[in-house]
A = this chain, B = another copy of it.
Amino acid sequence: MPLDTGDTAFIIICTALVMLMTPGVGLFYGGMVRSKNVISMIAMAFISFAIVSIQWVTVGYTLSFGSDISGFIGGLDYLCLTGVGLDGDGIPDMLFMVFQLVFAGITLAILTSGVAGRIKLSSFMVFGVIWTTIVYDPLAHWAWGGGWAGELGALDFAGGTVVHISSGFGALALALVIGNRSGFGKYSMEAENITMTLLGGALLWFGWFGFNAGSALAADGLAVNALVVTNISAAAGALTWMAASWIKGKPSSLGLISGAVAGLVAITPASGFVGPMSAIVIGGFAGILCYSALLFRVRKGLDESLDAWAVHGMGGFWGAIATGIFASAAVGGVDGLIYGNTHQFLVQLIDASAAMIYAFVMTYVLATVIDKVMGLRVTDEEEYVGLDISQHGESTTA
């Protein structure tokens, strides 16, 4: 198949949409911290994207998509993009490369949830480069690069395991290593700029269309299916989280937007495999599940500050399982549990669990090592004045 201008146009624009999600994460997170850390959150999103951009074009892409080594990692065939051409099947190989780049970039940004308001910038940068190399790249290889999970038949349309389980459980591990923010649980750390979070959420919802529909790698019916179920799941998640929080008190806008993100996360692996009505169930349940996970996390006194674990980790896990439940051969060629395919359900369970354990353990070890070597956390004084001033020398209200 020669290049197709429609497909190429589509994936270029989807790449742009997904790129915008990274600052979207920054704004989403930035609005939920105290104002002394808002610049830090947004800057970490940009920094994540910048360092992963360089990592990816040098070593990341080849480790993920180079020729398979033992089902675990890619070879160095594409080191520094050698051999990645401007032609290809349908879309240029180089376009596939950059579309994958923006996924790697946002994953690291999501992870900053676990260290909000207390990580040393320099340590974060070192951590980020290594994490992407030893956690993200293998996971991408497993699922999409010819690794064991893909071979096993695990389905992950747009990154439920690769992006969301990895960053969600990674954030959990990070939070455990770095410890709670000082004063956590003792005094209020409420969101100080909710409208910024809503704006970030809007950019996420928008960009997610590129994330999921673009994962079809062509402007075809499958992409359209992904688009439609993505939107439905987001809407359903927003409404159920809102409803659940309404029962307990007021329907906050933060609940609404968090529910939308939960729905978006959950549909991500499933979006090329399930139909619209299943999406209502997947997203609707995600809203309730992730909200419960959040409440559980708070009850446990664990400061995984911006709930990447509850939303991306648990939402991604549910999405992987849900793909095994609701997949319909009519959409993506594979049936799930409700059509009697228990095998697929088990494969999904294995894949999601493996990703979860790998991401959690590796992140925990890496964070611990970096903490020992260069210190992961700022000093008390620096934390007290906030990372904006202590790490960037800047402040929001001059």
Q: Which residues of A contact B (CB under 8 A)?
A: 3-10, 12-17, 19-20, 23-24, 26-27, 30, 34, 38-39, 42-43, 46-47, 49-51, 53-54, 57, 80-81, 85-87, 91-92, 94-95, 97-98, 101, 121, 188, 190-196, 198-199, 201-203, 205-206, 209-210, 213, 218-225, 227-228, 231-232, 234-236, 238-239, 242, 249-254, 256-257, 260, 276-277, 280, 331, 391-398
Q: Which of A46, A101, A224 has the most chain B CB atoms inside 10 A of its CB?
A: A224
A3-B221, A8-B220, A13-B13 given; A190·B398 CB < 8 A:
yes
Flag if B235 contacts A50 (CB, 8 Å): yes
Asked whether A228 lies within 8 Å of B50 as measured between CB atoms, the reply is no
Complex CA–CA separation, A392 to B86 (angstroms): 50
Pair A253/B398 contact, Cβ less than 8 Å = no
- A34-B277 Cα distance, complex, nearest whole Å: 40
By the criterion CB–CB under 8 Å, are A256 and B46 in contact? yes
A and B contact pairs by CB, cutoff 8 A, 20 listed: A3-B220, A3-B221, A4-B6, A8-B10, A16-B17, A34-B398, A39-B253, A46-B201, A46-B256, A54-B235, A57-B276, A57-B280, A81-B276, A92-B221, A95-B227, A98-B224, A101-B231, A188-B398, A192-B397, A253-B394
Chain B residue at minimal CB-CB distance from A95 = B224
The interface residues of chain B lying within 8 Å CB-to-CB of A331 are 86
A292–B240 Cα distance when bound, in Å, is 43
* Residues B46 and A238 in contact, CB atoms below 8 Å apart: yes
Residues A256 and B47 in contact, CB atoms below 8 Å apart: yes
CA A373 to CA B363, docked complex, whole Å: 55
Q: Which residues of B contact A225 (CB under 8 A)?
A: 86, 94
Q: Select A19's contact among B8, B231, B280, B395, beta carbons within 8 Å.
A: B231
B contact residues around A50 at 8 Å (CB): 234-236, 238-239, 256, 260
- Nearest chain B CB to A30's CB is how many angstroms away? 7
Expressed in whole angstroms, the Cα–Cα distance for A162 and B202 within the complex equals 24
By a CB distance below 8 angstroms, the chain B residues around A235 are: 49-51, 53-54
Which 4 A-B residue pairs are closest in the complex by CB-CB distance? A5-B6, A86-B221, A250-B393, A23-B202
Contacts A46-B257, A198-B46, A235-B49 known; A227 to B394 CB distance under 8 Å?
no
Residues of B close to A188: CB separation below 8 A:
398
CA A228 to CA B80, docked complex, whole Å: 13
Q: A15-B209, A250-B391, A253-B39 are in contact. Are A224 and B92 (CB under 8 A)?
A: yes
Chain B contacts for A203, CB-based, 8 A: 20
